[in-house]
Structure 1
Amino acid sequence: MTPYQRWTLRTDATSYTVRLSADGPWAELDAWGPHGVETGPSALDWSHRTHFFTPADAAPAEYLPYGLRPFTGADLVASRPGEERGVWWEFAGAEEDEGALRLAFTDEVLGLRTVLCYRTVPGTDVILRWTEFTSSRELRLERLDSAAVTVPVTGPARLTYLTGQWSQEFQHTRLDLSRGTFSMGSTQGAPGHAYAPWLAVQDGENGPAYGVALEWPGNWHLTAQAEPGGFVRVRAGRVPHEGAVYLTPGETLTTPRLACAFSAEGLDGLSRVWHRYERHLSGERLRRPRKVLYNSWEATAFDVDAAGQLELAKTAADIGAELFVVDDGWFTGRADDTGGLGDWYPDPAAFPDGFGRFVDDVRALGLDFGLWIEPEAVSPGSELYAEHPDWVYRIEDRPARLVRNQLLLDLGRTDVQDFVIGTLDRLLTEYDISYLKWDMNRPPTERSRPGAGPADRLDLDAQHVAGYLHVLDHLRSAHPHVTVEGCAGGGARVDHATLARTDVLWPSDNTAPLDRLAIQYGFLHAHAPHVMSSWVTDAPGVFDPRSRSLAFRFVNAMCGVLGIGADLRHWDADQRAEAARWIARYKDVRDVVHLGEARLLGSPRDVTCGVQYDGADGRTVVAALSTGPLDGAPLVPGRPARLRLRGLDAAATYRDADSGAAYSGAHLLHYGLPFAWSAAHDAELVVLTRE
């Protein structure tokens, strides 16, 4: 074995090269970038001279344990129970296959075998990384990260990440990190509203972009450390609720996967890498049209009855909706948010002719039917809780804390999983339901399972995640015709594990026009348009109260999967006619929006911004929005605003399908599309056809 043994993984446009270090028993990143980047001296090489720390602390290591890397951030902290922490391993061999690599390291004294796993994703520029641990003795793992990646920088590293709170998720945030440590994460049993498990790193503001995203819908962390040697090292992994995970002899533990992506085209190019990856995750279901839905929540809230819902459904069908979803309030005991959760039977008082008859009546209007449900939640006054009080998370002899007047079921229990699966099977079999909105409106607080053994040995977070994914997998296999929307009080559970098992995700409960524009701008940096559920409502602004037109709300919502959530009973004939026109336009372009290449044009901080979608059929769809003063003069009086397009053929001609105007690609790239904004015209959808 030579100390310079190397392995290269290749994606569609990138190379990722790993080498064995000459300084010790670990793997290092040698090169990551466009094809051929591995030929030449490594940009991650270093002087190999260290003072007051070790070579392992200075190395661009792929993965190192505490013991070998004591000072600058270890990825694994392990010990025998009650003994000193630390792993000192030796290289134990490599297994290489097309698009896959496994590097093994063993600590014979500790009895631990660690395998670093790599796999490329065909048709994308994503490499998946994870780690497997197998023990021959009982071990305690305090830290068990999935992977680490290293980015060379010449100055401060530009970090881009997504922050927020409930109703203000996915805010596009930047930080220049010259020295020190940046960390974010969640201990709420879900990715959470505050941070998304996604990060981009650039060498300066406009450099190539390196990105990571953790596939884990539970507790997590993501940490970036600007190290003295000119590296930024990013590591990510799950965070056990109990503080550590115990391995029993012979057991193998696999960490969540960390998706690693690169684009030479900066953040804009990196977003398209993530979009292609998420289209890969959707698989054949990507070809299923995302139907225009109407959701009744904002119109009726808990006041659900057959007559009122059918009135809304008839109006929704008249304007072109294809799917009607009854939200919270359809089941027994649900007059408000204090009761009913867990007793998932339609309220006979609300549906006097039977729920099946109601569903049939909706479908007779030409609409598919969908239903909201919160399978992990239970109300203290429900029959379910009375029968199974032991099914909720609780700490013996401590009060149960209510969040949103509800408790959380312990989905790590197999009997709870069986109950949830049985409930879903019953509803989806008994009624003609083709759409399911899965919500989660509270995090776990008193997270314990009395009587199940020592509390620090349960790994409850991982068990809940496993139960959640098991139920979603069952939905996929047993009810493949059902479209599943993921939601957690808005965007608190958006990650690749959830996304791979659902069809659309709900980014936020905030549907106000300019607030939603900022949310979607951040969301589309990390996630694809075909998974972004977005509604047109009458909601006023929460953080940005400036009014915008119905056209603005439609064009903004058409940037993803279009839905309507307004109380249509209060819209006049002109508003309904305008809505029908926008829905018809959306149906004509949704394949381009969902399957095309998306480019973010400007940002909500600009007076004009938008999203460009380039379809395989030669059409380019531009959703343009005005965020500035609506006086028709964003620059000088009488001069229209301009939105420069990208990625077009400069020599080609592009014709506006509505106006008939022709533009050269060079004109659109250099000057852009013109928009004369006014109080009556603050949004536009332009469809260009390449001639």
Structure 2
Amino acid sequence: MITLIENNKNRKLFFLNTVSSTLVIMIHEDNYIFLPYFGAKIEALDIDYIIDGITEANYMADTDNKKKFQLELIPQIYPSYGYTDLKNPAFHFVYKDGSRITDLRYKSHNIYKTKKKLNGLPTVLSNDDSEVLELTLFDELKKVEVIITLAVFEKHNAFTKSVKVINKNSSDDLYIEKIMSANIDIQESNFKFIHLAGAWGRECHIKRRRLEQGMQSIGSIRGASGHGQNPFAALISPNTDENNGEVFAMNFIYSGNFIISAEVDMHLNTRFQMGINDFDFGWTLMPNEEFQTPEAVLIYTNKGLGDMSRTFHKLYQDCLMSNKYAYKERPILINSWESNYFDFNKESLLKLAEEGKNIGAELFVLDDGWFGKRNDDKTSLGDWTPNEQKLGGSLSSLIDDINKKGISFGLWVEPEMVSPDSDLFRKHPEWAIQVNGRKIETSRHQYVLDLSNPEVCDYIINFMTELLSKNNITYIKWDMNRNITNLGSSYLKAERQKEQAHRYMLGLYRVLDNIVNAFPNVLFESCAGGGGRCDSGMLYYMPQVWTSDDTDAIERLAIQYGASLVYPSISLACHISDIPNHQTRRKERIETRANVAMWGNLGLELNLNKISEEDKKVISQKLKIYKSIRSTIQFGSIYRLKGLHAQNEYAWMHKSIDEETIVVNYVQICVIPNLVTKRLRLEALDSISKYKVNNSDRLYTGSELMNVGLMLGEIVEDAFAIQWIIKKVN
């Protein structure tokens, strides 16, 4: 809900309220836009005293020649470069005359119901739970208009923010060097900076560091959000845990280069920013052209990281994911990759599909190697013609034979890539990302197609449309197995080369928008060498992500735990894999591998034709259990349980929407010698209700389970897992 208050000082205060948080925008009498408050929900009262109460500091410039009016000290919503605020600006424009100073002042505002879709970009949307404040700012000298769009999702306790720049100058170009989507100024600095970091095979590990005076940042310039950093960060109070403490969180609805920074100034105030990474970025706006930033999601809570996570999850399931799949049970799949890699024929595929069906799988996925001359990773990307010799006939006939076994069919593709050894590259070498006159570097023996070129995007749309129109494919795994080097475009003009990285993302989003809307009954899964594009931008088009190429159950604990800070369980693909694991060589029990895979969308990534009958029996039993609790895992709320030994124990709990079913999982990685039995306390139960644990005869009250807890028993081996299924008794 948005409320406007105007006071007798010719000031406007906009109160943007969710169910439990408030963001206040103040229009100063000199038409500056300030941010006096962002935090727990407060009543809509005249709080401009917050701004008036800021004292002056030495060695600061006065603004507009007004004594004690020092812009650098005042919390702003979108600070500019080069005026009297010498901190990190939210944007940086260069004008035709070489000047770089912009003086944006409030011009007008507009408040309306129901947020609009951002042109060409993924967007958080809601027909019944969004109200929007548009603030129009203007630089009268340079004729530049900036529109800040703040949307309130009241029931979801969230805000979104994006920025549009319009060059209103009738004769001069405008050059954008930096353009953030969100800026939050906070008048304190006693925070820890929490984010998700790692690498291929160990994505999304949680990192915390204390804020100090100066600049701290994370980001990506890899052409994707990346394995190394995730486009999420939060400022948290020092003692924040799962259930208590302040959290100021931001997540970028974008899949390309990004930067998130926190600057603590000389007076211990914090400036928190998120947007497109300005390294090697530039954008020219001709007269009357506009530039739209991606949007950022802003969340405040004083109830800890658990509440932050559940807020993100609910918002993304309700307002970001495809309505068709947000609350539709995802199938249990078996993927051919770790079973066969490139070495398969029709007989081996049909046998694997049959074994998968017999054990309880519902979807068979044919991974890499089905097209062109693709018997290894050195050839044929771009030549998306099925290899009928390898498939024993047409792709359609293979799909028909697999469907006859009572299992659906899915397919792996990597449309953004091209092999040097491919007919496509020989025909269109200029379609690869490259710098004229320089060698194109390969990664995984492949190049990246230049999606800033509309002709390349049309090619991908056309071949994917043909593939999906002619075959009964119900699932697509869309991969991207390398990052972008040698950034350069044969399509873009010299003065537009710095636009390429963002134009690539706009091209990808156009491709996905076309294909996903044309084939609404196909479930798309995003993959980029695992979690290299595990972000909410992709989640808008593809409602699940391959969380990591690392399928080892122990390594997946930290990955899935970290990813759950932002991304809902239904979006995370988690598979039971073979032993020794293909990435770590570990050998965990099948029970542990299965329980860890039940964190999200369970699947199989192993050769059922080679495992023991005993393991098959356990897997079959586990899949039956998963199907009985699937709606709880995929649609319910997750709680990361506290009170455990850091990095050696993981415990998490899913609670169904109706709160009738609770699924609890516990894993201890290493045995602790000479340790007596411990208990695991649960959360968020009804204290007076009674619950039955694993169909036992004994009933427990919710208060017992939350304060006394479940007995872990004696743990005598590494990688030990326990699962409890708890039902409320009416």
Name the structure 1 match of 2:161: 129
Identity rate of aligned residues, in percent?
A: 26
Name the structure 1 match of 2:693: 656
Q: Does 1:327 align with 2:367?
A: yes
Q: Does 1:469 align with 2:504?
A: no
CA contact (8 A) 2:82 2:101 kept: yes
- The one-character-per-residue Cα deviations of 1:15-58 (angstroms, maximum 9, x if unpaired) are 22111246x54322222233326658689655230322342222
Equivalent residue of 2:541, what SS?
coil
Name the structure 2 match of 1:85: 100
Name the structure 1 match of 2:58: 51
Partners of 1:226 and 1:39 in 2: CA distance: 29
Amino acid at match of 2:316: E
Which of 655-664 and 470-479 deviates more? 655-664
Q: Does 1:310 align with 2:317?
A: no
1:164 to 171, 195, 198: 198
Amino acid at match of 1:344: W
Structure 1 residues 42 and 575, CA, compared in 2 at 3 Å: closer, same or farther?
A: farther
Q: TM-score, normalised by structure 1?
A: 0.95
Structure 1 residues 14 and 498, CA, compared in 2 at 3 Å: closer, same or farther?
A: same
Equivalent residue of 2:331, what SS?
coil
Q: Which runs of 4+ in 1 moved over 4 A?
A: 37-46, 539-547
Amino acid at match of 1:121: F
Which of 354-363 and 601-610 deviates more? 601-610
Name the structure 2 match of 1:150: 185
CA contact (8 A) 2:13 2:27 kept: yes
CA contact (8 A) 2:369 2:375 kept: yes
Per-residue deviation, 1:163: 0.4
CA contact (8 A) 2:432 2:448 kept: yes
Equivalent residue of 1:372, what SS?
strand
Name the structure 2 match of 1:612: 653
Amino acid at match of 2:660: R
CA contact (8 A) 2:552 2:586 kept: no
Equivalent residue of 1:568, what SS?
coil
Q: Does 1:103 align with 2:138?
A: no
Which of 553-562 and 596-605 deviates more? 596-605
The alignment's C-alpha RMSD in Å is 2.2
Name the structure 2 match of 1:684: 722
**1:291-370 alignment, distance < 5 Å:** 291-370=331-410
Q: Does 1:15 align with 2:22?
A: yes
- The one-character-per-residue Cα deviations of 1:198-224 (angstroms, maximum 9, x if unpaired) are 011112222211100111111111111
Equivalent residue of 2:630, what SS?
helix
Partners of 1:652 and 1:296 in 2: CA distance: 45
Per-residue deviation, 1:657: 3.8
Q: Does 1:67 align with 2:82?
A: yes
Per-residue deviation, 1:630: 4.0
Partners of 1:482 and 1:681 in 2: CA distance: 36
Structure 1 residues 293 and 69, CA, compared in 2 at 3 Å: closer, same or farther?
A: farther
- The one-character-per-residue Cα deviations of 1:591-650 (angstroms, maximum 9, x if unpaired) are 11111111111368354432111112333333322324347x7732xx2x3211111111
CA contact (8 A) 1:378 1:406 kept: yes
Which of 568-577 and 545-554 deviates more? 545-554
Equivalent residue of 1:110, what SS?
coil
Name the structure 1 match of 2:119: none
Which of 513-522 and 443-452 deviates more? 443-452
Which of 13-22 and 414-423 deviates more? 13-22
Name the structure 2 match of 1:217: 255
CA contact (8 A) 1:294 1:325 kept: yes
Q: Does 1:385 align with 2:419?
A: no
Partners of 2:296 and 2:15 in 1: CA distance: 18
Amino acid at match of 1:400: I
Partners of 1:656 and 1:589 in 2: CA distance: 14
CA contact (8 A) 1:43 1:152 kept: no
Structure 1 residues 242 and 177, CA, compared in 2 at 3 Å: closer, same or farther?
A: closer
Partners of 1:550 and 1:572 in 2: CA distance: 11
Amino acid at match of 1:151: I
Equivalent residue of 1:149, what SS?
strand
Q: Does 1:189 align with 2:202?
A: no
Structure 1 residues 327 and 475, CA, compared in 2 at 3 Å: closer, same or farther?
A: same
Structure 1 residues 681 and 38, CA, compared in 2 at 3 Å: closer, same or farther?
A: same
Partners of 2:376 and 2:258 in 1: CA distance: 33
| Count of aligned pairs | 685
CA contact (8 A) 1:151 1:201 kept: no
Q: Which runs of 5+ in 1 are unaligned?
A: none
Structure 1 residues 320 and 229, CA, compared in 2 at 3 Å: closer, same or farther?
A: same
**1:238-277 alignment, distance < 5 Å:** 238-239=276-277, 242-277=280-315
**1:289-688 alignment, distance < 5 Å:** 289-450=329-490, 452-456=492-496, 459-538=499-578, 540=580, 547-602=587-642, 605=646, 607-630=648-671, 635-636=675-676, 639=677, 641-676=678-713, 677-679=715-717, 682-688=720-726
- The one-character-per-residue Cα deviations of 1:137-186 (angstroms, maximum 9, x if unpaired) are 31111111112013344x63111100001111000110111322111111
Partners of 2:231 and 2:665 in 1: CA distance: 29
Q: Which runs of 5+ in 2 are unaligned?
A: 1-5, 62-69, 114-130
Structure 1 residues 538 and 53, CA, compared in 2 at 3 Å: closer, same or farther?
A: farther
CA contact (8 A) 1:511 1:539 kept: no
Equivalent residue of 1:49, what SS?
coil
Partners of 1:276 and 1:412 in 2: CA distance: 33
Structure 1 residues 276 and 132, CA, compared in 2 at 3 Å: closer, same or farther?
A: same
CA contact (8 A) 1:93 1:104 kept: yes
Name the structure 1 match of 2:174: 139
CA contact (8 A) 1:44 1:152 kept: no
Equivalent residue of 1:397, what SS?
coil
Amino acid at match of 1:147: A
Amino acid at match of 1:249: P
Which of 322-331 and 564-573 deviates more? 564-573
Name the structure 2 match of 1:76: 91
Partners of 2:266 and 2:49 in 1: CA distance: 15
Name the structure 2 match of 1:286: 326
CA contact (8 A) 2:79 2:85 kept: no
Q: Does 1:179 align with 2:213?
A: yes
Equivalent residue of 1:412, what SS?
coil
CA contact (8 A) 1:146 1:257 kept: yes
2:109 to 87, 94, 97: 94
Per-residue deviation, 1:264: 1.9
Equivalent residue of 2:193, what SS?
strand
- The one-character-per-residue Cα deviations of 1:358-403 (angstroms, maximum 9, x if unpaired) are 1111111111100000000000110111111111111111111111
Structure 1 residues 629 and 88, CA, compared in 2 at 3 Å: closer, same or farther?
A: closer
Structure 1 residues 414 and 57, CA, compared in 2 at 3 Å: closer, same or farther?
A: same
CA contact (8 A) 2:668 2:721 kept: no
Amino acid at match of 1:616: I
2:32 to 26, 30, 33: 26
Partners of 1:539 and 1:253 in 2: CA distance: 50
Amino acid at match of 1:86: I
Partners of 1:108 and 1:572 in 2: CA distance: 75
Amino acid at match of 2:709: G
CA contact (8 A) 1:412 1:467 kept: yes
Equivalent residue of 1:350, what SS?
helix
CA contact (8 A) 2:216 2:263 kept: yes
Partners of 2:155 and 2:407 in 1: CA distance: 35
Amino acid at match of 1:47: I
Q: TM-score, normalised by structure 2?
A: 0.90
Structure 1 residues 367 and 152, CA, compared in 2 at 3 Å: closer, same or farther?
A: farther
